[in-house]
Amino acid sequence: MKLMLTCEHASNRLPAAFKKAVPAEVLKTHRAYDIGALLVFRKLVRFAKPEFSCEGKFSRLFVDLNRTITNKSAFSEYYEAPDARDKAVAEKAKAQATAYWKEYRDNVEKFVQQNIGKGNKSTASKDAEIVHLGIHSFTPVLNGKVRNTDIGILYDPARPQERAYAQVIKDEIKRLYPAMKVRFNYPYKGSSDGLTTTLRKKFGPRYVGIEIEINQKFFK
Ligand SMILES: [Zn+2]
């Protein structure tokens, strides 16, 4: 089994071509990136020494690496903002964003492709060959509602392998930190559009994709 760690929403940086489109104060918020996720991700990389890891280098307001590129929400409303309204500028930024998205996704898929399905196929083994942990964080209050959870573990309930790994992760967190509130598929569903969902479809049951969602209150 090989471990892959990723952090799609690590950064709030913008490339030069898109810099004027997003107000500086928005860049400091959870809308631009997953506050604290990079900190946890880098600690995990040092600690767990995964066979493969990668992190996003631009804000999701430029392009969301955790959305299919054909999903409208891959591109933020700032493509419509006054400074980006000039059509040529917006189109150029979008082309750059698409290329960046593709490079990130290709890099991840290449690793999975090269490390999956090489076992004895005649046994039709469904043992996990890649375990992918995507590290994310969520804002503690959304639209005035307090999210009463510390860590969310997102997986696809239709996949027994993922359910088993999610349970192991939850048990281990509870063993180490008994007071921690851990919930499955909260605050989002593991089966929604995202990197893990794409990889599940492409690579089948030997790929196990789990997202860890950490409450940003820990980083304040
Ligand atoms: Zn995220």
Q: Which residues surround ligand 1, an ion (CB under 5 A)?
A: 9, 34, 136
Q: How far is the CA of 30 from the centre of ligand 1 (A)?
A: 9
Residues in Cβ contact with 185 at an 8 Å cutoff, skipping those fewer than 6 apart:
152, 153, 154, 155, 157
The tokens for 200 are 């599940």
**Each residue's pLDDT tens digit, 135-176:** 999 999 999 999 999 999 999 999 999 999 999 999 999 999
Q: How far is the CA of 20 from the centre of ligand 1 (A)?
A: 23
The tokens for 7 are 């952090």
Print the domain residue range for 132.
1-220
Angle between helices 87-115 and 195-203 (to 10 degrees): 50
CATH number of the domain to which 74 belongs: 3.40.630.40
pTM: 0.94
Q: How far is the CA of 57 from the centre of ligand 1 (A)?
A: 13
Q: How far is the CA of 124 from the centre of ligand 1 (A)?
A: 34
**Each residue's pLDDT tens digit, 19-68:** 888 999 999 999 999 999 999 999 999 999 999 999 999 999 999 999 99
Q: How far apart are CA 36 and CA 219, in angstroms?
A: 6
Q: How far is the CA of 34 from the centre of ligand 1 (A)?
A: 5
Count of structural domains within the chain: 1
Q: How far apart are CA 156 and CA 185, in angstroms?
A: 8
